Copies of this chain bind each other. A is one copy, B any other.
Amino acid sequence: MSDLEQFRAETREWLQANCPEEMRQPVRGPEDHCWGGRKWQFQSDAQRVWMERMAEKGWTAPQWPQEYGGGGLTPEQAAILDEEMKRINARTPVSNFGFWMLGPALLKFGSDELKRKHLPPICRGEIRWCQGYSEPNAGSDLASLQTRAEDKGDHFLVNGQKIWTSYADKADWIFCLVRTDPNATKHNGISFVLFDMETPGVTTRPIELISGESPFCETFFDDVKVEKDAVVGELNRGWDVAKYLLTHERNNIGGEPPGYLKGRALGPLAAEHVGTENGKLADSALRADIARLETDHMAFRALVAKVRAEAEAGEGVGALSAVLKYYGTELNKRRYELMMDAMGAEGLEWESERTQGGMFASEWLRSKGNSIEGGTSEVMLGIVSKRVLGLPDA
């Protein structure tokens, strides 16, 4: 038995023994996700136990070094763990922006001290992070941000306002882009800093979206004291960290729809609502639209697979991540439009039990934000035309 085969066998056995039955049920919606953090209310004992057991193995962050609380797995081992978890429908034990964003940034840019301080609590699900990037007047043009961190000798004093801070009202710490040199050119003079959301001067307010949800906040900083050693990477070079993370974030978009449509094929779903004639959707235009969408989706998946294979072979993804972000989100928007076409009046009910309080319309509306958040489609196309196609600026 090869090492990997043995790893698989042991993993399977361990999961079998340690993953509570309740944590092997399909996730029904966002409410089943375990975010962790100081304020976290576990949905059940099983959720807590599962998180703690996985954290103990380091498998909440399988590929992070063991010294920082991770699992220290190789990519091959991590893939096996992933497969084995999928095999029994094991839920993700815990996840938040600490895992997705801050961790990778710290691992690449952080000092050993910062890594030791922040990574283990993330792995243990003790600290939930949020991200402070956008500002009201710096949307797509992120680098024009105005939040200032003034050097006061032994600390920075942070003043300003962030927007679109995901779940800032529920997070414990924030990683945040601030301007540390107001005289430098736009992309210079920005630093990537970390601080506790309970620091005096931090207030946050949820923003209600058109979908009715409030996953984002406005966050205000009024004379917030931040330690000098809370800077990730070099002072005034925070843009490098931000760029790295933006690309990293875009890589995570695989074009699979979230929510209600996750794992559901649109054609048969439409057939339930629209009906069929001779085995074909009764609305023939909708049938053509769905087939075209699914064809494009299959093409997109083929591209994602190719990019992933190339990335694994070390060829790097680079600006192609903008391609994936752009197309994946546009595809998702098309998909929700067609879902709404298919569901007709039944999809439009907002306050009713039948629709779980308007879930369909809400997800449709929420999808409109996909091509805005994390870099608008227009910004993505600009990156593609410049960095992939090499087209010159005006």
- Shortest A382–chain B CB gap in Å is 14
Query: At the interface, yes or no: A394 with Cβ under 8 Å from chain B?
Result: yes
Please report the C-alpha to C-alpha distance between residue A185 and residue B394 in the assembled complex, in whole angstroms: 21
> How many monomers of this protein are in the complex?
2
- Shortest A248–chain B CB gap in Å is 32
Which chain B residues border A285 with CB–CB below 8 Å? 284-285, 287-288, 291-292
Please report the C-alpha to C-alpha distance between residue A291 and residue B289 in the assembled complex, in whole angstroms: 14
Residues of chain A in range 153-202 having any CB-CB distance to chain B below 8 Å: none
Please report the C-alpha to C-alpha distance between residue A45 and residue B287 in the assembled complex, in whole angstroms: 57
Please report the C-alpha to C-alpha distance between residue A284 and residue B284 in the assembled complex, in whole angstroms: 6
In-complex Cβ contact of A394 among B288, B289, B394 (8 A): B394
Please report the C-alpha to C-alpha distance between residue A299 and residue B287 in the assembled complex, in whole angstroms: 25
Please report the C-alpha to C-alpha distance between residue A287 and residue B291 in the assembled complex, in whole angstroms: 15
Please report the C-alpha to C-alpha distance between residue A292 and residue B287 in the assembled complex, in whole angstroms: 15
Which chain B residues border A288 with CB–CB below 8 Å? 284-285, 288-289
Contact with B along A296-310 (1 / 0, CB 8 A): 000000000000000
Q: Which 8 A-B pairs have the closest CB atoms?
A: A284-B284, A285-B288, A288-B288, A284-B288, A284-B287, A394-B394, A284-B285, A285-B291
Jot down 13 A-B pairs with beta carbons below 8 A, ordered by A. Answer: A280-B284, A284-B284, A284-B285, A284-B287, A284-B288, A285-B285, A285-B287, A285-B288, A285-B291, A285-B292, A288-B288, A288-B289, A394-B394
